[in-house]
A and B are shown apart, each in its own frame.
Chain A
């Protein structure tokens, strides 16, 4: 009885911590992790116009072959009556989960989370193409790259733009500044500021994945210029 109660309390605490996710400005992993970065991305659906400039830029910069993609903007609608119609756009790409189902199932260690940045990546040369990670990812964002034959997905442009000290390609390409990228550990970063001041949500948090792709929910009506 006592034991089961303790277990209950323990898991309840874990649940609360997990659910609160990144109550920004305070790193979820405490002091020990303060020197490392924890990159996150915000997609502001109230600003997104579904222009696909982000996915076009991603393909070009990261050399993603046709037929597969690291990033897709999902369009729902039209809502409302003609001529006052509008759509809702949601971003479909890796969420850079803190608790990574894809990494857990990878038998070769090809799928990994970079502890210095929090970015979830794939070591293409280690990947044997078993597709366990593709099956395990609850967000269905992984695919086999037809050229490298390895699992592939968004890596926050770790090997391309970040290496050059630049923002991810999609963030730079977005004409409406619907995307905000930055370090959750840095209380002055733009992501932290936006998350602090704007209601936001993440998807499938109930699975305990603790995704680092945040979304600002779309609203009814047209996107204002």
Chain B
């Protein structure tokens, strides 16, 4: 990406963010270009994009992140899945996001990106389809608790209390 297109991309993203502040209304979401995609015919419930990434100005399609449909759904395909039970390798999931998001920029935003980049899929923490990503408004306590979800060794109640 050239510097100009990067700046343009950022400007568009920011305006998309601003726009979406007044946009999570259901009717508006339905009208978004990405939600006219033929994938939505089947994936209405889990497929609809209400988040920033669905904004028309970004002109993203389902394929931009999930890859080409291939023989899906009749036969196995290389569709990139981001859910917890997805068969897609973590690195392939991260690669998809890395098309736009550079790792050093992500590191600047939050240091934890640097240590998870090939171990945990982005969608383990981030949510793109919902109208807002919970990571954007994470309180300090919630953030620590989130680390503990994977890194916790024991159920907290057991041995912790007694001196």
Instruction: Tell me the dominant secondary structure on chain A's binding face.
Output: loop
B162 touches A167 (CB 8 A): yes
Across-interface contacts of A50 in B (CB, < 8 A)? 111
A167 and B151 alpha carbons, distance in the complex (Å): 20
A162 and B162 alpha carbons, distance in the complex (Å): 9
Q: Is B11 an interface residue (CB 8 A)?
A: no
A166 touches B151 (CB 8 A): no
A52 touches B115 (CB 8 A): no
Q: Is A194 an interface residue (CB 8 A)?
A: no
Partner of B144, one of A53, A77, A86, A166: A53
Which residues 75-105 of B have a CB within 8 angstroms of A? Answer: 103-104
B148 touches A53 (CB 8 A): yes
Number of B interface residues at 8 Å Cβ cutoff, please give it. 26
Asked whether A176 and B115 contact (CB < 8 A) given A52-B144, A166-B163, the answer is no
Asked whether A78 and B107 contact (CB < 8 A) given A56-B140, A85-B115, A165-B163, the answer is yes
Can you show 13 pairs from A to B with CB atoms below 8 A apart? A53-B148, A56-B141, A56-B144, A78-B107, A78-B114, A83-B103, A84-B118, A161-B163, A175-B153, A177-B153, A222-B115, A225-B150, A225-B151
Listed in ascending order, the chain B residues whose CB lies under 8 Å from chain A are 103-104, 107, 111, 114-115, 117-119, 140-141, 143-145, 147-148, 150-154, 156, 160-163
